[in-house]
Structure 1
């Protein structure tokens, strides 16, 4: 059975990379009405402002602002194949809601290539290959740094707190290593399901034997955008997972090997909402960078091959990220049933980061990767008892309890 699960996971991955020629039912070709972040926030009565951040290299990113105490901004970053929507789909028990209710100035970020990051001052994502020339390295050194600059300039605060989930944690570590001047601008980092090293993660171990095939699949496809918003594979996924029982019993269970699955935290009727928003698009290069992290067991910059590496890095191998340059107070938070961020990999990461204040392992035995943003009780198990007290240590004079918003009818 385990082998069948692994094989299914691998084949699913390859289908996603190569696309599919399967015919879709006519209704699947009609884009579903899918609320954006602002609409998700308005459904539960949250004020929301959409701002545009232009990076040093010309990408235009949407960032969402839920206004609170300007002296205490908090930036939220999602993971690979994710977007700001991931944080908001739980409505009035979501992390942005809990933070806003506690008085924080909440900013929810996005990275290039996702639903909210498909614009550039010069390149068209549908026409120009140059648009897709990025990986998670650029998420850190360009996207995250630009968002931090924008937030601090706008609020006139001296520092902010940063919360990342999944690969949204990795970008913080890379930023501290590549642009250590940002260490002085972040008072603390809260890493939900930390990801850097991939030595123990079950889904990635399963891919190792077929990694060359995976590389070939990524290289040979002419698609620079993976999981594109208008792609056949996304239309098929959203259509297949649009009914509650199928989304819960088939789609989420298929992700069990990859993320872990906790049916106690994802109600049957809620399951389709996840697939309305996840996954979002990214680049082929980003996926290849993940493959490199898997096969080399190094947390390093992108590998262009020995000759090009010599030109770019001055050595045949890309340099590993020097995580010792991270001087920010970091809190690592793990789930016992998280199959993407395994405890063994977090144990490898922890000693490389010099300022880990605490590694918190959540008590629920089945707490998995998706539960960090999708779990129905995560506000009770994590957000309120753990995240709010951590933030308060660095924001002692925060005024608690914002005025309770009026909810709007769900669309």
Structure 2
């Protein structure tokens, strides 16, 4: 049983909520993880009696404690879960909506689109807002065969074929491995199942970074992509505003300090760090919405004009979805260096062991041959306009470069914004018709 040591402190409760989910050992079963989610949800739901009175987000289509495939099924859409094993032994889960609830013809060939989540996220991001709002349902209703990936270390992809693998070895990865092993495995599986070589790709945040990086390891990915769409897209983030990565960058040469404050293996921020972040960035609006302990909002910011307050408990029931501390350090290295390159393990010996080189490799833009559309947010804490511009100038085939037409629009609004159909999703689907 989980014991709450400081029940009088809302901040601690929500910190524990995030920490338990992130720190769940990869050997936990999905049922156990979901039980933890439900328990913490019940502890945080007080004060939100009006959740389900909003007609736009009915209880039947949003479930704080249920996995992606169940959310899809309860919304009335066909739902599939595919379990894959990467070349280095990590077990991943991919979710699929093969057709719309309005056109349940499994034999019909549909254009394929792959959705990839960002940092500390999962496939649930693309279905949480329910039909009429969430991107996965919009694409399905528009006639697409929709696939949603899950990177290693998140809620759905916490297994390994080697049962004796230590936690240290399991969690020694960053977005390098996601790009080298996870993404090509998921995309090639999708190609095999659908019988279609060509696909659309939509990524958010880290889902864009890993796509561009994967093209360095696997040129076929760019060659097979009809159109790559990036929301909050980036390779380097030297100008970011996010306070967490700023302080991490200041201590980037002190690995022991970082592991102490962020978690030894999987990313689990200390209460001290969360308290500091909350004091640094929380507005009254965020405090009112009980966001000040959710690490994802502390990293990326909050826009009260786009996030419907009645949906927040459901969002917080699925985020943060977890990642490794090394992955967070890799991001901080990008802040400090301004370079798009592999993870630096902090010593010549460690780099030689991992890279067979004293320094990690630099990645190359020229291999990203697919047509690319970039959507960026003017008030994005994680991917500021200056860093999106770096990406635009370096990619060889940018076909659209769009500033979201709302001044307060920020990083997480791409997932849960109330006006996304008009601001982002509609324009995306119109562009997809051309490819």
What TM-score do the two structures reach when normalised by structure 1? 0.79
What are the ranges of 5 or more consecutive residues in structure 2 without an aligned counterpart?
Answer: 1-10, 24-35, 42-63, 100-107, 276-284
2: CA distance, partners of 1:196 / 1:252 = 27
Q: Is the 8 A contact 1:88 1:96 kept in 2?
A: yes
Shift of residue 30 of structure 1?
3.6
Match of 2:7 in 1: none
> Is residue 45 from structure 1 mapped to residue 84 from structure 2 by the alignment?
no
- SS of the equivalent of 1:321 reads coil
RMSD, matched Cα: 3.2
Q: Is the 8 A contact 2:172 2:324 kept in 1?
A: yes
Match of 2:306 in 1: 265
Change (3 A) 1:326 1:105: same
Match of 2:6 in 1: none
Shift of residue 134 of structure 1?
1.1
Shift of residue 138 of structure 1?
0.8
Q: Is the 8 A contact 1:211 1:295 kept in 2?
A: no
Q: 2:404 aligns with which of 349, 355, 362?
A: 362
Change (3 A) 1:334 1:199: same
Shift of residue 140 of structure 1?
0.9
> Is residue 277 from structure 1 mapped to residue 318 from structure 2 by the alignment?
yes
Mapping 1:31-42, distance limit 5 Å: 31-32=40-41, 34-42=65-73
Change (3 A) 1:59 1:202: same
Match of 1:217 in 2: 257
Aligned length: 362
2: CA distance, partners of 1:269 / 1:359 = 32
Match of 2:85 in 1: 54
2: CA distance, partners of 1:340 / 1:367 = 12
> Is residue 63 from structure 1 mapped to residue 94 from structure 2 by the alignment?
yes
Mapping 1:11-410, distance limit 5 Å: 30-32=39-41, 34-68=65-99, 70-92=109-131, 93-123=133-163, 128-203=167-242, 206-207=246-247, 210-212=250-252, 215-220=255-260, 223-227=264-268, 248=289, 250-251=291-292, 258-304=299-345, 305-310=347-352, 312-313=354-355, 315-384=357-426, 386-394=427-435
Shift of residue 312 of structure 1?
4.9
What are the ranges of 5 or more consecutive residues in structure 1 without an aligned counterpart?
Answer: 1-7, 21-26, 237-243, 395-411
Shift of residue 308 of structure 1?
3.8
Deviations 1:70-119 (A, max 9, x none): 44110000011111111111111100000000000000110111000011
Larger deviation, residues 85-94 vs 305-314: 305-314
What TM-score do the two structures reach when normalised by structure 2? 0.75
Q: Is the 8 A contact 2:249 2:332 kept in 1?
A: no
